[in-house]
Amino acid sequence: MTTTRHTSSAFGRDVTLAGAAREFVHHPSPWSIGALFVGAVITRVALGAWTWADALVPLVMLALFPVLEWIIHVFILHWRPKRIAGLTVDPLLARKHRAHHGDPRNIPLDFIPAPVFLWLAPLLLAIALLGFPRLELGLTFLIVITALGLAYEWTHFLIHTDYKPKTALYKATWRHHRNHHYRNEHYWFTVTTSGTADRVFGTEPDPDTVEKSPTAKRLHGLDVAGA
């Protein structure tokens, strides 16, 4: 499989946040998530009827988001192809993630694949409409989850550029994810934080105690197509 490599502003000796941002907005995922975010904000503000629960929902989601990242990364992105009823089950997200591990500097592979939004956007809308006692609260959920999604895409993209960490918080997150890619793919599953869900689930060891994995760039010993 071949993909276009974008390097104009994301790689090189003097990568800046502005240069990285210019590259970031050239990809469809931020726009897809951003459209949901803007639509949710406009509708939520128009409806009004704010309550204390509108402050509680973001707090709960912020606390749970690292756990969600960990679960998705472990059980969906690192899915091993399986034969079920004579068919090979190998979802697009897992295939694309194997390709991402195989070529971590290939920028298009950093992002949620565009076809995923054909089901992800309706799913999020359905949760917002049906999963809460009030539409207003569902829209608050939609605002927060899309904001977190944008933060996830930006952080993941930035880590895979040549932008150098300038703060202790980002440096820890940067090192955390790069350990996952370049040391051992069986650990360090969160992307936007370090020392959170991985610590809870026992997947944040001292890097110096972990051997370098021979399959970090070839998940499950498979090629990118899962053959």
Could you please report the per-residue DSSP string of 46-76? HH----THHHHHHHHHHHHHHHHHHHHIIII
Which residue in 158, 196, 197, 160 sits closest to 178, CA to CA?
160
**Residues paired with residue 83 on neighbouring β-strands, in sequence order:** 88
Alpha helices in 73-213 (DSSP H): 92-102, 117-130, 135-159, 168-182, 197-201
| pTM (whole model) above 0.85 | yes
Per-residue pLDDT of the chain (227 residues; tens, 9 = 90+): 344 444 456 776 778 889 899 999 999 999 999 999 999 999 999 999 899 999 999 999 999 999 999 999 999 999 999 988 889 999 999 999 999 999 999 999 999 999 999 999 999 999 999 999 999 999 999 999 999 999 999 999 999 999 989 899 999 999 999 999 999 999 999 999 999 999 999 999 999 999 999 999 998 888 765 44
* pLDDT value at residue 189: 97
Between CA 77 and CA 113 the distance in angstroms is 12
Between CA 121 and CA 102 the distance in angstroms is 28
The full set of domain ranges for the chain reads 17-221
* pLDDT value at residue 220: 87
CA-angle at 105, arms to 101 and 110, nearest 5°: 65
Between CA 96 and CA 76 the distance in angstroms is 11
**What is the separation of C-alpha 134 from the centre of its chain, rounded to a whole number of angstroms?**
28
